[in-house]
């Protein structure tokens, strides 16, 4: 039977890069895993740290491959809920030299620029927001998805961010001033 404390610390050593990747992977090889509970939650910050170390030359592409492969095989590692979809895609993606820059940008852009708007302050703000949406669709930051649960009788569009969040844009229809909000 695996000591849960040792298992958690070994996974943490790997995820947080507290020890060299080879040493962390070797330590995990001797420990079983528990399907019954999560011993560690992988975060976007863990991945950004990995990518920064790769960018700075402290980790090779092969180190990153081993890190990803080892964490992908850990059935007792959870994913940070806010970034779960993005982290899942990250762990499933092929590790190439170009991969680090692409994923660092995706994680940095994941939802940071989205803030709720509870009522547009007039037509000019609505038009500026409309242009902002058009620009986000063009650069791939947003993808339009079907509306599955309408906000009353108002016209609206739904969008998915690169990290899997869904946001709704509801048009103004006086006296309602519209909104842009995350779909829960």
Q: How confident is the model at residue 102 (pLDDT cuts 50, 70, 90)?
A: confident
Q: What is the pTM of this model?
A: 0.59
* pLDDT tens track for 142-174: 899 999 999 888 899 999 987 788 999 999 888
Whose structure tokens read 């620009």?
A: 135
- pLDDT on residue 67: 94
Q: Are 116 and 181 in contact (CB under 8 A)?
A: yes
- Express as a percent the part of the chain with pLDDT over 70: 92
More confidently predicted of 104 and 177: 177
- pLDDT on residue 86: 82
- pLDDT on residue 169: 94
CA distance 153 to 137: 25
* pLDDT tens track for 57-95: 899 999 999 999 999 888 888 898 877 888 888 898 888
């Amino acid at each position: 039977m695996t000591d849960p404390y040792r298992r958690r610390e070994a996974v943490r050593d790997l995820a947080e890069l507290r020890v060299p990747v080879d040493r962390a992977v070797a330590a995990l090889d001797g420990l079983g895993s528990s399907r019954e509970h999560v011993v560690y939650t992988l975060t976007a910050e863990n991945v950004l740290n990995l990518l920064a170390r790769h960018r700075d030359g402290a980790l090779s592409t092969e180190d990153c491959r081993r890190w990803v492969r080892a964490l992908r095989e850990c059935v007792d590692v959870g994913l940070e809920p806010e970034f779960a979809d993005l982290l899942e895609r990250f762990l499933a993606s092929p590790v190439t030299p170009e991969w680090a820059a692409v994923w660092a940008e995706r994680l940095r852009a994941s939802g940071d620029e989205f803030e709720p708007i509870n009522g547009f302050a007039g037509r000019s703000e609505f038009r500026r927001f409309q242009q902002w949406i058009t620009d986000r669709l063009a650069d791939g930051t947003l993808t339009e998805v079907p509306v599955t649960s309408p906000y009353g009788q108002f016209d609206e569009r739904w969008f998915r961010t690169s990290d899997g969040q869904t946001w709704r844009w509801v048009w103004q229809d006086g006296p309602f001033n519209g909104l842009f909000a995350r779909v829960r």
